[in-house]
Amino acid sequence: IQITFGRYVRQGRKLGVDPKLFIQDLQFNKVPVRVYQPKATSDGRRRGIIFFHGGGWVFGSLDTYEKVCRYISRESESVVVSVQYRLAPEHKYPAAYEDCLNATIHFMKNIELYGVDPANVIVCGDSAGGNLAAAVSQTLAGRSDLPKLRAQILIYPGLQALDFNLPSYHQNRGVPLLFRERAAFFALQYLNGDALHMQEVLEGSHIPPDMRLKYRKWVSPDNIPEKFKVRGVKPLRPTDFIAEVYETVKRFCEPNLCPLLAEDAIVHQLPESFILTCEYDVLRDDGLLYKKRLEDNGVRVTWYHLEDGFHGIISLYDYCGFSFPAGKRGLDSVVNFLKSL
């Protein structure tokens, strides 16, 4: 009931025609998409952006992100493809990831139909969509049969489910729009279609000690710059590992679900990256940790930090008359990055 109501509240109003854009609903490899194309004539082929919306893998639709996608398409003069991937809990992992991957591959293989330059395709997403963009980007990095992605844009992405006790989880645990408990709730809905064992996952007893040690080099407060710890750090109390909980969530260690855990050999091949983080966001440190991993592997990263931003602020751009200046700044930072490519 909670999820059904949440979807109803978020469904977004139907917008009128946009004088500057040609918009059509299509299917890419059976996945519903909405394609936004600038009407103005172009000197050459345009850049193409594949957009995966946020909403915890549970919420969100093409309509919810209509204003954001129109804005990006208009302002950056790009073709934008917004992907309606299947949602949890009805469709568990890897359904959303597979839909995003299949829609992206379809677009790349039929790119001339949309007047897009095959060397200038970008994946982009916010929150859960940032997770999906990172996963798709990693999968395509190893493909020799398709053009290389030009860039990936990750807007406050959620990238790991090993540690819900990083400094940003502690500091922002009660900050809207994403509470600490909800982050674990969404990850479990996506993985298993239910939120059983949420408490154990929050406490960290779902990961075996040897595995925690293995991933410490990537998932650790030690890799987060000191200035992000001044608002307080709560060291993780060693909790007892519970094997039967691990059995139900062990796929959290798959990079397609938690891209922060990909091996260096994959991260090394990733395209130029843009990462946006917000100070008041439980997922802030996921973005900071991935930024470090990318830079350590020689990938060029543009990082934009909204000091006054909170999780979900981009999706509130011009939402029912609301608008936050920080959200507009964040969106414009994305547009400026796109124009620089």
Q: Which string of b and e fits 280-305 if b means at least 16 CB within 10 Å? A: bbbbbbbbbbbbebbeeeebebbebb
Instruction: List Cα–Cα distances, 185 to 169, 179, 198, in angstroms.
Output: 14, 10, 6
Do the beta carbons of residue 218 and residue 288 sit within 8 Å?
no
In this structure, the strands spanning 31-38 and 79-83 are: antiparallel
State percent of the chain over pLDDT 90.
89
In this structure, the strands spanning 46-52 and 116-126 are: parallel
Minimal CA–CA distance to 126: which of 82, 172, 164, 184? Answer: 82
Listing from the earlier edge strand, what are the strands of the sheet with 116-126? 21-28, 31-38, 79-83, 46-52, 116-126, 151-155, 272-280, 301-310
User: Residue 316's pLDDT is what?
Assistant: 87
User: Residue 102's pLDDT is what?
Assistant: 98
Q: Which of 126, 206, 311, 315 is catalytic?
A: 311
pTM: 0.97
Q: Which of 99, 126, 163, 281 is catalytic?
A: 281
Q: Which of 127, 168, 205, 273 is catalytic?
A: 127
Ranges of the chain with pLDDT below 50: none
281 noted as active-site residue: yes
Q: How far is the C-alpha of 40 from the C-alpha of 60, rounded, in Å?
A: 29
User: Residue 142's pLDDT is what?
Assistant: 86
Minimal CA–CA distance to 315: which of 42, 112, 129? Answer: 129
User: Residue 135's pLDDT is what?
Assistant: 98
91 noted as active-site residue: no
